[in-house]
């Protein structure tokens, strides 16, 4: 293992008196090392304390290609801070990254995190990294390293930013993508479980600023608290979807994040074709309806800001669509036929 | 290329009126795409707009291992902001990451960045990414992706955080490291060119808070401005050092960052041995002496906080030391014999 707890913060002139921080850092370091070890998988060859994390390239592939992505959690972090719950955002981050490389057909190998914070607070770093490690274990990838930077002039007390970086692997020839999409292909929608990691600035402004609610109040028209609804963890679609890709059943995929269905689906639609999304094929979950109604947000805006209940879209050959939907539902997903690819110039049309 | 400009910030309720931001983001996106293209090297196979950056595993290696590292720039960023100079910190970041994986013997393949900021400001994101891209070109690695997150509630106007992730590759059997270090090995020091990316909180507190200087004032006892001295770019040792590693001349390396010589050199010293660093073998550069004197910082503290003029240490077999020093000096480096490895329990001793 590399040292995932390098602390970039620099001692002040009175550093010698500030023994506490060093102790907090040392304690964090030890528990993070344990968390890192809990994610070990075959392939990890670095030892604790090394400068870089080292991972053996899997053998036996004919044309292995690495797929990498960097991401943050965005302002969902603010909700975690308000609720004092720091062990879920790491899972959000890992799952978001896993889904981003899954659309390229990649199986995750390893993950690294970056935490920027004002002052290391006893327990908080560990909770954040515990979430990252849990996300890694759930997706079978190693937490190979990371950095925690103490930057008191950048972050308010109790605040932090969290970014992550994933590397996965795919056989180059098996990559799904835009180049495989054909007229007549079918769109298969996969349900999200909430806001995932997008639209939080708007949601927060509405709930906290306009409606004056607190994070422990009930989410409007729901039985659950705002914290519970807003901190539901971004889903990873790795387990149900990767086997379908490996079986050659999927032409392309889109992970529905910022920009929503219109912008993300457009990324895998070739020129001359358009994805016609049938809006009557699913019911937009109530949490989105609440935001739209109470915030008087225009529907198009909603679709460009939120996933609206669709976490991922698979584009599959027409002849495979029913079988793909059945397999996904058998795996416990909520999947449905959400439209089709046709000739057209609009890239994505919500019909 | 993947889309290196995904903006995670979420529109507010009045998003429709905020057309400017979208325009700024679009402009940033276009120039960043150009910058990304400027770093392309063989191996890059992803196209603009894809969800993950894709890089072909180099062929012809017998046991390829990936080496990854995550890092930030720390509070050197604050100096860049004070000076309004945003095109050097990206080079700092890339070089820091390159040096971290170089100590594992790795040649860099690709890099991804994460920028968290309050509001996208016209030109600033582009300047930051221009620095990252320049750093990538200088080290022959591809800028494969990244994320720019707009988070107005986290960062003060004009402020940002910057993190980076690198992946390189090494033949597993050729890795330098602790396991190769033997009694009698010689320490070769490589000069830094200043503070690199460590100790900035202390430096800033002294110069700006205690001495009341501004970033455009002269650095005490120097002809250059504080901005010029403090923003000198963290050096990459890739070009002079990688050939030595590949020729089998190097047992281990230490990149001297936070924790200084004592902590970083200790990471590659096996139990039962100690690195005896001969402090009379080089002159600590004047910028460090100024900080020590004006800040009345204790010398041990200085060595734990700053690189003190030593950017990297190579541990080489005694019989190779003179030739290694000569080769490095021929390449324009400033290299010298800085001590030796002996039996002992102190890991690192400054003698």
Does residue A260 surpass a pLDDT of 70? yes
Domains within chain A, CATH numbers bracketed? 15-174 (3.30.1330.10), 178-350 (3.90.650.10)
- Residue written as tokens 């979807």? A241
Q: A137: phi > 0 → left, psi -120 to 50 → alpha, else beta; which?
A: alpha
CA distance A230 to chain B (A): 15
Does residue A79 surpass a pLDDT of 90? yes
Question: Chain B interface, mutation test: which of A106, A163, A267, most B Cβ atoms within 10 Å?
Answer: A163
Does residue B4 surpass a pLDDT of 60? no
- Residue written as tokens 């925690």? A148
Question: Chain A interface, mutation test: which of B12, B32, B53, B68, most A Cβ atoms within 10 Å?
Answer: B68
Q: What is the pLDDT of residue A17?
A: 37
CA distance B72 to chain A (A): 7
User: Phi, psi (5° rounding) for residue B309?
Assistant: 100, -5
Q: Do A54 and B65 touch (CB under 8 A)?
A: yes
Q: What is the pLDDT of residue A22?
A: 66
pLDDT interval class at A16 (50, 70, 90): very low
Q: Do A163 and B116 touch (CB under 8 A)?
A: yes
Q: Please report residues of B whose CB lies closer than 8 A to that of A165.
A: 68, 70, 112, 114, 165
B24, B123 Cβ separation under 8 angstroms = no
User: Phi, psi (5° rounding) for residue A69?
Assistant: -150, 145
Q: Please report residues of A whose CB lies closer than 8 A to that of B170.
A: 54
Containing B11, the helix (H) or strand (E) segment is none
CA distance B257 to chain A (A): 9
The listed range with the strongest mean pLDDT (A20-34, A162-176, B116-130) is A162-176
Q: What is the DSSP letter of B58?
A: P
More confident position, B179 or B153: B179
Q: What is the pLDDT of residue B333?
A: 98
Question: Chain A interface, mutation test: which of B18, B58, B69, most A Cβ atoms within 10 Å?
Answer: B69
Q: Do B68 and A16 touch (CB under 8 A)?
A: no
Report how far residue B98's alpha carbon sits from residue B237's, in angstroms, rounded to the nearest whole number. 8
Q: Do A65 and B54 touch (CB under 8 A)?
A: yes
Q: What is the pLDDT of residue B49?
A: 63
Sign of the CA dihedral with B190 first, then B194, B196, and B198 last = positive
Q: Do B70 and A153 touch (CB under 8 A)?
A: no
Mean pLDDT of all residues in B4-16: 39
pLDDT interval class at A19 (50, 70, 90): very low
Q: ipTM greater than 0.95, yes or no?
A: no
Q: What is the pLDDT of residue B213?
A: 97
Mean pLDDT of all residues in A34-50: 87
How many A/B residue pairs have CB atoms within 8 Å?
A: 290
Query: Quick check: pTM over 0.90?
Result: yes
Encoded tokens for B199: 């100790």
Segments of chain B assigned E as strands? 53-56, 64-72, 107-117, 142-150, 160-171, 186-191, 252-255, 273-277, 310-316, 335-343, 347-350
Q: Assign B214 to helix, strand or coil.
A: coil
Report how far residue B307's alpha carbon sits from residue B310's, in angstroms, rounded to the nearest whole number. 5
Q: Could you tell me what percentage of chain A is helix, strand and coil, using 3-state DSSP and rounding each to the nearest 5?
A: 35, 25, 40
């Amino acid at each position: 293992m590399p040292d995932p707890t390098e602390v970039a913060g620099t001692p002040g002139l009175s550093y010698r008196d500030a023994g506490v921080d060093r102790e907090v850092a040392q304690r964090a370091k030890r528990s993070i090392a344990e968390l890192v070890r809990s994610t070990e998988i075959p392939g990890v060859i670095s030892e604790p304390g090394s400068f870089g994390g080292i991972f053996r390239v899997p053998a036996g592939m004919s044309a292995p290609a690495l797929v990498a992505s960097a991401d943050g959690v965005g302002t969902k972090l603010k909700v975690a801070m308000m609720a004092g719950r720091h062990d879920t955002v790491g899972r959000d981050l890992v799952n978001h990254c896993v889904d981003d490389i899954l659309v390229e057909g990649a199986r995750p190998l390893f993950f690294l995190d970056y935490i920027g914070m004002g002052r290391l607070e006893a327990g908080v770093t560990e909770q954040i990294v515990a979430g990252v490690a849990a996300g890694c274990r759930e997706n079978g990838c190693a937490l190979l390293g990371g950095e925690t930077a103490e930057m008191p002039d950048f972050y308010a007390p109790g605040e932090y930013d969290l970014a992550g970086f994933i590397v996965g692997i795919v056989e180059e020839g098996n990559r799904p993508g835009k180049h495989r999409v054909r007229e007549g292909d079918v769109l298969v929608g996969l349900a999200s479980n909430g806001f995932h990691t997008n639209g939080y600035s708007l949601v927060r402004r509405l709930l906290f600023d306009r409606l004056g609610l607190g994070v422990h109040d009930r989410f409007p028209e729901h039985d659950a608290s705002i914290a519970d609804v807003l901190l539901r963890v971004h889903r990873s679609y790795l387990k149900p979807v990767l086997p379908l890709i490996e079986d050659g059943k999927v032409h392309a995929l889109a992970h529905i994040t910022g920009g929503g269905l219109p912008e993300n689906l457009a990324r895998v639609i070739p020129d001359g074709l358009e994805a016609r999304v049938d809006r009557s094929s699913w019911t937009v979950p109530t949490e989105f309806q609440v935001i739209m109604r109470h915030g008087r947000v225009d529907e198009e805006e909603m679709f460009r800001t939120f996933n609206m209940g669709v976490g991922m879209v698979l584009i599959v050959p027409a002849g495979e669509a029913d079988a793909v939907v059945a397999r996904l539902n058998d795996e416990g997903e909520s999947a449905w036929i959400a439209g089709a690819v046709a000739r057209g110039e609009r890239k994505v049309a919500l019909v």
